[in-house]
């Protein structure tokens, strides 16, 4: 007998047959989500719950390992003609749960699929096409299909307004051409799954689209190893006068600054938009002379509301009226300062005055005044330059990139997180952010030795 394919597995199968086959035959080989991916999932669930409030009076079909029980509950609730959340159907070889099924005239229903993205993507159309096929095969008359997503123009002011934050697009016409292909694809997937051997699939762009595939570490191991072996080695070359000019332009004391930020689908604070990057932490090294040890200031928000007022208070206390302010890829820090000042205009003049003092210590690498074969023509990120130029790296740190820092901080904010674990995460965050600014100092010292 052919397997029934769930909606999520159908979408995995569209991305790659090997991924789909592994879900059924080698599940243990698929790693669980990392902290950053889990944070994305969690936000998706929050958006889903918020969308339900736009269809009040409904009932949720609770998740159960027992699919038949969920379908039976759905069947019973359908008769009540009220909104249904997570209504569950299985028919024609597929199994799907509807985020929201809303009763409309003449005994019909509308499908509302909720996504935490900011636009309709092709994969969303396949998602809803599969749902419509499944529900209609189960005898549910569907009128229209909508994709409800985040409106990225929404600005939170006071209580959250779900009507302003969420925008529903009618995709009934857009999915219509996809529906006839659904049974054809399902049959092909079922035949593939009946094979005992995993299909051979070449790696390629599909490994990252529409989603980063969880099997990348396995499938790409050989490619990554050969790329690592082929990475050009060699030594630094540099233009001493260009580096000297860059260093001579700096005004002491130097303030080496790095922000960590969070950007959530549902804006948490007044005067912020969906996915706006709000600073929750900074590290600042204050350098009087390159050869001396710097003073370090670490600030990490420990309140529960908007961190930006406290961030400005601490930053303005720490940064004097003169001296260069260095941030690696400074456009990021500049944007965060300007956005924060837009929300708190009392700091706008201070931010305006700070902008001409901002310097990017990545410029000597971006402008190829200092070159290394491993960087090639266009790469100059701090994570690449630091271990090539100094004896510092991120390898020993628990948190190694900004996305993980953001996801970890959301765990700190979560009241359910154990206090001891929260303390560990806060320490890890401070170590990570400190490395970014101390790393800048290490780079400046090396550059100083090149002039
Ligand atoms: S990494 Fe690429 S080839 Fe491997 S299973 Fe995923 S999508 Fe398929």
Q: Give the start-end residues of each E strand in 151-206.
A: 166-170
Regarding the beta carbon of 256 and ligand 1, being less than 6 Å apart is answered: no
Among candidate residues 75, 120, 66, 65, the one with its CA nearest the CA of residue 101: 75
Question: Over the chain, what is the mean pLDDT?
Answer: 95
**Ligand 1 pocket test: which of 13, 24, 203 has the largest number of ligand atoms within 8 Å of its C-beta?**
203
Residue 32 CB: number of other CB atoms within 10 A? 7
94 and 6 in contact (C-beta within 8 Å)? yes
Regarding the beta carbon of 16 and ligand 1, being less than 6 Å apart is answered: yes
Residue 392 CB: number of other CB atoms within 10 A? 15
- Report, as an integer, the average pLDDT of 275-301: 97
20 and 9 in contact (C-beta within 8 Å)? yes
Q: How confident is the model at residue 336 (pLDDT cuts 50, 70, 90)?
A: very high
Q: How confident is the model at residue 415 (pLDDT cuts 50, 70, 90)?
A: confident
Tokens of 421: 């674990």
Q: Which atom of ligand 1 is nearest to the CA of 201?
A: 3
Annotation: CATH topology of 5-215: Lambda Exonuclease; Chain A (3.90.320)
Residue count of the chain = 451
* Half-sphere CA count of 220, side-chain side, radius 13 A: 15
In the block, tokens 């303005």 appear at 316
Low-confidence winner among 330-334, 415-419, 433-437 (lowest mean pLDDT)? 415-419
Regarding the beta carbon of 383 and ligand 1, being less than 6 Å apart is answered: no
The predicted-structure confidence for 236-269, as pLDDT tens digits, reads as follows: 999 999 999 999 999 999 999 999 999 999 999 9
- 366 CA distance to ligand 1 middle (Å): 33
- 415: burial class by Cβ within 10 Å (0-12, 13-18, 19+)? exposed
Determine the pLDDT at residue 230.
Answer: 87
- 217: burial class by Cβ within 10 Å (0-12, 13-18, 19+)? exposed
Determine the pLDDT at residue 267.
Answer: 96
CA-nearest residue, atom 7 of ligand 1: 207
The predicted-structure confidence for 352-377, as pLDDT tens digits, reads as follows: 999 999 999 999 999 999 999 999 88
Regarding the beta carbon of 206 and ligand 1, being less than 6 Å apart is answered: yes
| Separation between Cα atoms, residue 351 and residue 338, nearest integer Å | 7
- 213 CA distance to ligand 1 middle (Å): 6
Regarding the beta carbon of 366 and ligand 1, being less than 6 Å apart is answered: no
Helices (H) and strands (E) in the chain, counts: 18, 14
Tokens of 302: 């420990």
Regarding the beta carbon of 18 and ligand 1, being less than 6 Å apart is answered: yes
Among candidate residues 105, 107, 112, the one with its CA nearest the CA of residue 146: 112
- 22 CA distance to ligand 1 middle (Å): 10
| Separation between Cα atoms, residue 287 and residue 278, nearest integer Å | 26
- Report, as an integer, the average pLDDT of 407-429: 91
Which one is predicted more confidently, 297 or 378?
297
Regarding the beta carbon of 5 and ligand 1, being less than 6 Å apart is answered: no
Q: How confident is the model at residue 303 (pLDDT cuts 50, 70, 90)?
A: confident
Q: Give the start-end residues of each E strand in 247-403.
A: 254-262, 278-287, 295-300, 325-326, 358-359, 370-371
Regarding the beta carbon of 201 and ligand 1, being less than 6 Å apart is answered: yes
* H-helix or E-strand spanning residue 107: none
Regarding the beta carbon of 211 and ligand 1, being less than 6 Å apart is answered: no
The predicted-structure confidence for 68-121, as pLDDT tens digits, reads as follows: 999 999 999 999 999 999 999 999 999 999 999 999 999 999 999 999 999 999
Backbone angles phi, psi at 191, to 5 degrees: -65, -40
Which three-class secondary structure state does DSSP give residue 145?
A: strand
CATH 3.90.320.10 location in the chain? 5-215
The predicted-structure confidence for 129-177, as pLDDT tens digits, reads as follows: 999 999 999 999 999 999 999 999 999 999 999 999 999 999 999 999 9
* Confidence check: pLDDT of 67 > 70: yes
| Separation between Cα atoms, residue 325 and residue 254, nearest integer Å | 6
CATH 3.30.420.10 location in the chain? 237-450
233 and 373 in contact (C-beta within 8 Å)? yes
* Confidence check: pLDDT of 1 > 80: no
CA-nearest residue, atom 5 of ligand 1: 19
| Separation between Cα atoms, residue 127 and residue 162, nearest integer Å | 23
CA-nearest residue, atom 8 of ligand 1: 16
Determine the pLDDT at residue 238.
Answer: 97
* Confidence check: pLDDT of 2 > 80: no
Architecture of domain 237-450: 2-Layer Sandwich (3.30)
258 and 282 in contact (C-beta within 8 Å)? yes
The predicted-structure confidence for 15-27, as pLDDT tens digits, reads as follows: 999 999 999 999 9
Q: Is the pTM of this model over 0.85?
A: yes
* Confidence check: pLDDT of 396 > 90: no
Regarding the beta carbon of 207 and ligand 1, being less than 6 Å apart is answered: yes
CA-nearest residue, atom 4 of ligand 1: 219
* H-helix or E-strand spanning residue 102: strand 94-103
**Ligand 1 pocket test: which of 13, 29, 213 has the largest number of ligand atoms within 8 Å of its C-beta?**
213
């Amino acid at each position: 007998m052919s397997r029934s394919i769930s909606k999520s597995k159908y979408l995995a199968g569209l991305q790659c047959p090997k991924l789909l086959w592994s879900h059924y035959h080698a599940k243990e080989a698929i790693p669980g989500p990392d902290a950053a991916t889990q944070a994305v999932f969690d936000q998706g669930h929050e958006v889903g719950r918020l969308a339900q409030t736009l269809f009040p009076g409904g009932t949720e079909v609770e998740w159960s390992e027992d699919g038949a029980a969920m379908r039976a509950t759905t069947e019973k609730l359908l008769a009540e003609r009220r909104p249904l959340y997570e209504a569950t159907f299985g028919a024609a070889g597929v199994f799907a749960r509807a985020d929201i099924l809303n009763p409309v005239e003449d005994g019909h229903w509308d499908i509302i699929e909720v996504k935490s993205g900011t636009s309709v993507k092709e994969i969303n159309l396949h998602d809803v096409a599969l749902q419509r096929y499944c529900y209609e095969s189960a005898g549910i008359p569907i009128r229209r299909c909508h994709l409800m997503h985040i409106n990225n123009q929404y600005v939170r002011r006071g209580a959250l307004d779900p009507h302003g934050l969420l925008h529903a697009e009618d995709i009934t016409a857009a999915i219509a051409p996809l529906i006839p292909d659904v049974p054809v694809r399902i049959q092909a997937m079922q035949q593939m799954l009946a094979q005992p051997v995993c299909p051979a699939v070449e790696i390629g762009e599909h490994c990252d689209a529409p989603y980063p595939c969880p099997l990348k570490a396995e499938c790409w191991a050989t490619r990554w190893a050969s790329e690592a072996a082929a990475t050009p080695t060699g030594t630094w070359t540099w233009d001493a006068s260009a580096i000297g000019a860059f260093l001579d332009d700096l005004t002491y004391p130097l303030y080496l600054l790095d922000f960590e930020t969070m950007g959530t689908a549902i804006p948490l604070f007044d005067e912020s938009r969906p996915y706006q990057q709000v600073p929750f932490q900074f590290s600042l090294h204050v350098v009087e002379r390159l050869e001396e040890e710097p003073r370090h200031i670490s600030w990490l928000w420990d309140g529960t509301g908007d961190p930006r007022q406290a961030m400005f208070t601490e930053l303005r206390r720490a940064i004097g009226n003169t001296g260069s302010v260095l941030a690696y890829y400074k456009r990021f820090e500049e944007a965060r300062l300007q956005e924060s000042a837009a929300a708190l205009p009392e700091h706008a003049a201070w931010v305006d005055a700070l902008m001409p003092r901002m310097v990017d210590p990545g410029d000597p690498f971006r402008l190829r005044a200092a070159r290394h074969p491993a960087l090639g023509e266009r790469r100059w990120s701090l994570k690449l330059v630091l271990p090539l130029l100094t004896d510092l790296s991120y390898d020993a740190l628990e948190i190694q990139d900004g996305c993980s820092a953001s996801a970890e901080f959301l765990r700190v904010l979560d009241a359910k997180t154990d206090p001891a674990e929260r303390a560990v995460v806060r320490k890890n965050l401070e170590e990570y952010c400190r490395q970014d600014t101390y790393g800048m100092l290490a780079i400046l010292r090396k550059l100083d030795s090149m002039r």
